Each structure stands twice: as structure tokens, then as C-alpha cells.
Amino acid sequence: MTARNIDGNALAAQVREELARRAAELTAAGVQPCLAVILVGEDPASAVYVRNKVAACEKAGFRSLRFAFPADVAPEVVFGKLAELNADASVHGILVQLPLPPQFDADQVLEAISPEKDVDGFHAENFGLLLQGRKSFYPCTPWGVMKMLDSENVPIKGAEAVVIGRSNIVGKPMAVMLLARGATVTVCHSQTKDLAFHTRRADIVVAAVGRANFLTGDMIKPGAVVIDVGINRGADGKLCGDVDFASAREVASLITPVPGGVGPMTITMLLANTVESAQRALDARRSV
Ligand code: NAD
């Protein structure tokens, strides 16, 4: 079997078109969706991510604000900016690009973003709501993965799903979202004894490890759906995922490529959360 690719670029373009339409409607009603992005330091990868987010916002007709601080900025300066943005009713989403320099406690920074504007979905309040199956801002990467599975009508209810990785931004929320949709979920991580034992039983495997070509075809059940969240540089310097694409595609039924898979969907869901936040702001304004 040779797997079919799930095309993240095509799906992202389709969803972004709809979001741009909604943004235009909100703008016409007096609430232009606005995302504020904070970048601290000169990490080149972070700078690229921020540039892509700002460009995606502008293309979809959002207002975007970008605040860059030097790596040695005092934490109070960033907390001051967050307080200002929290209080600004014209701002609907606030994002602090991670990682942060060592003088910052990342959890403390994420907690300083108002949960109503936490469009990354990283605030403990939103994560708690997600765990309880209540309305929240979903973390963008796992939400993007769910959209990809749904775009292909992958059966989730009753499926055996294995998530590799247990980070707060990908692995854990991914597991919670699959569980909420009725999958039987196993979360594997760096201490898992026999990873292949688990992955070989899985109808859906999500790899979020951060190691090039980590999940190989012999670890995958024939016909499984393989989602590759990883972003790595291979030995040849090229961008690659956590999945050994060449061997995995010979076994899987559906697979996401890197690049052009989960990545474009992550930014798309950030736009979706920002539109949702702007919609809530408009609804609140209309109800007074
Ligand atoms: P992380 O480093 O926080 O977590 C990695 C996880 O992998 C850990 O939970 C760890 O337990 C697990 N792990 C490590 N070694 C393992 C092993 N030998 N066996 C099983 N599990 C093991 O990383 P993260 O932030 O969750 O990101 C994971 C990957 O996804 C990275 O490559 C990152 O760049 C990428 N990522 C991509 C997107 C996107 O939009 N596509 C978004 C976020 C992260």
C-alpha cells in the first residue's frame, strides 16, 4: 500500500478563505480581528514563525501588531506590554512566541495573557476547560490535526490512537482531543518501554517528538493514519518530520508530509481562534 498525502497547504488555504470572509464581515460590523504577537530575542526560527503569523493575519484581512524586545529585556517590560494588550478592547488575540530567554518563567508569561485573548490555547484556564470538555480556545497544532483527520473523514470514535510526545502544547492536548472524540488513546513518551508495541496497534498515530525520521514503517500498522507534527532538520539540512516518510508511506493509508502538512494548519487555527475571539467581542458588544 502507498499512502495518500493529507495536503495541509490545500486544507489551510480552504479554511483561511472562509476565515477571511468572516473577518471581512466582522470588520464591516466594526470589529476587525486583531492579533498581537510578542517576540523576545533574536532566535531565527522564532523570527520566521512570527513573520509567517503576521503575514497570514494580514492576508486574511486582520489587523496585526508585532512587538519585538531584545533578549536581555527585563521581564517587567514584557508583563507591562501584556497588561496593556489585555486592557485594549481592539486586540482579540495575544501570543508570546516561545521559547523565551532564561530570565523568563514561560508559564508565568502565558498565565499573564488574559484567557479571553489566549488564542494559542496555552493558558491553564483554557487547558482546564479543554480537559473538562468545555468551550475554550483549543491549542492550534492539535486542533489543526483534528481538522486534518476530519477533512479525510477518518473514523475517530472507537479508534486506537497513539500520541507520541506529552508536551503541554502538542502531545497532552492532542490526547485529550482524541479522547473527547471517542478514541482509545495511548500516550507514549521518552520513558515508554516498548514504543513499537503501542504504535503497531494504532489506527491513528500522531508523532510529536522532535527527532528526525524517528517513526519508521516497521512500527506502523498496515493501513494506519500517520500524522507527523515534528519539524526537524535532517542530516542533509532539509526540513523533515518525526516520521520516516519513505518507509511509512509504504504501510500507512494516509500520511501528512513535512513540510506542507500540520505546519500550515497550526497557523490557520491561530487565525480561527482570533476570529472566534473577535466574534465573542462583537456578541458581547451587541448584548449590552
Ligand atoms: P517537546 O520537546 O516539548 O516534547 C517532545 C516529546 O517527545 C516529549 O514529551 C518526550 O517525552 C517525547 N520523546 C522524546 N524522546 C522520545 C522517545 N525516544 N520515545 C518516545 N517519546 C519521546 O516538543 P513539542 O513542543 O511537543 O514538539 C514536538 C515536535 O513538534 C518538535 O519537532 C516541534 O518542532 C514540532 N512542532 C510542530 C508544530 C507544527 O506546527 N507543525 C507545532 C509545535 C511543535
DSSP one-letter string for 175-238: HHHHHHTT-EEEEE-TT-S-HHHHHTT-SEEEE-S--TT-B-GGGS-TT-EEEE---EE-TTS-
State whether 107 and 163 are in the same domain: no
State whether 92 and 155 are in the same domain: no
The reply to whether 200 falls in a domain is yes
Residue 191 one-letter amino acid: Q
Q: Which residues pair with 118 in a beta bridge?
A: none
Distance of CA 286 to CAs 90, 114, 273, Å? Answer: 15, 21, 20
- Is the whole-model pTM more than 0.85? yes
State whether 104 and 150 are in the same domain: no
Neighbouring residues of 279: CB distance < 8 A, sequence distance ≥ 6: 22, 26
Whether 94 and 82 have beta carbons less than 8 Å apart is answered as: yes
- Write out the three cell numbers for 216: 519508521
The reply to whether 268 falls in a domain is no
State whether 146 and 244 are in the same domain: yes
Which stretches in the chain have pLDDT values below 70?
none
Query: Is 218 annotated in the active site?
Result: no
Instruction: Round to whole Å and give the CA distance between 53 and 239.
Output: 19
State the CATH number of the domain containing residue 216.
3.40.50.720
Centroid of chain to Cα 172: 12
Give the residue whose CA is nearest to atom 30 of ligand 1. Answer: 230
- Select from 146, 198, 229 the residue to mutate for testing ligand 1; criterion: most ligand atoms less than 8 Å from CB: 229
Domain span at residue 36? 29-114
State whether 145 and 101 are in the same domain: no
Does 272 contact ligand 1 (Cβ within 6 A)?
Answer: no
State whether 186 and 234 are in the same domain: yes
Please give the pLDDT value at position 234: 87
Whether 249 and 6 have beta carbons less than 8 Å apart is answered as: no
Instruction: Round to whole Å and give the CA distance between 264 and 10.
Output: 9
The reply to whether 6 falls in a domain is no
Burial of 101 (0-12, 13-18, 19+ CB in 10 A): middle
Rg (C-alpha) for the chain, rounded Å, is: 19
The reply to whether 13 falls in a domain is no
Length of the chain: 288
Please give the pLDDT value at position 206: 99
The count of structural domains within the chain is 2
Instruction: Round to whole Å and give the CA distance between 229 and 108.
Output: 26
State whether 66 and 105 are in the same domain: yes
Q: How far is the CA of 164 from the centre of ligand 1 (A)?
A: 8
Instruction: Round to whole Å and give the CA distance between 198 and 114.
Output: 38
Does 201 contact ligand 1 (Cβ within 6 A)?
Answer: no
Does 191 contact ligand 1 (Cβ within 6 A)?
Answer: no
Query: Is 97 annotated in the active site?
Result: yes
State whether 180 and 220 are in the same domain: yes
Instruction: From 190, 241, 250, select the one nearest 213 (Cα to Cα).
Output: 241
Please identify which of the residues 81, 118, 120, 228 carries the catalytic annotation: 120
The reply to whether 171 falls in a domain is yes
State the CATH number of the domain containing residue 37.
3.40.50.10860
Instruction: Round to whole Å and give the CA distance between 262 and 245.
Output: 14
The reply to whether 78 falls in a domain is yes
The reply to whether 172 falls in a domain is yes
Query: Is 120 annotated in the active site?
Result: yes
State whether 95 and 158 are in the same domain: no
Does 175 contact ligand 1 (Cβ within 6 A)?
Answer: no
Could you give the 3-state DSSP secondary structure of residue 35? strand
- Would residue 182 be called left, alpha or beta, if left means φ above 0 and alpha means ψ between -120 and 50 degrees? left
Of all atoms in ligand 1, which is nearest to the CA of residue 261?
A: 41
The reply to whether 272 falls in a domain is no
Does 170 contact ligand 1 (Cβ within 6 A)?
Answer: yes
Please give the pLDDT value at position 74: 98
Does 196 contact ligand 1 (Cβ within 6 A)?
Answer: no
Please give the pLDDT value at position 1: 76
Please give the pLDDT value at position 248: 98
Q: Which residues pair with 207 in a beta bridge?
A: 164, 228
State whether 153 and 244 are in the same domain: yes
Q: What is the dihedral of CA 46, 47, 53, 54, to 10 degrees?
A: 150
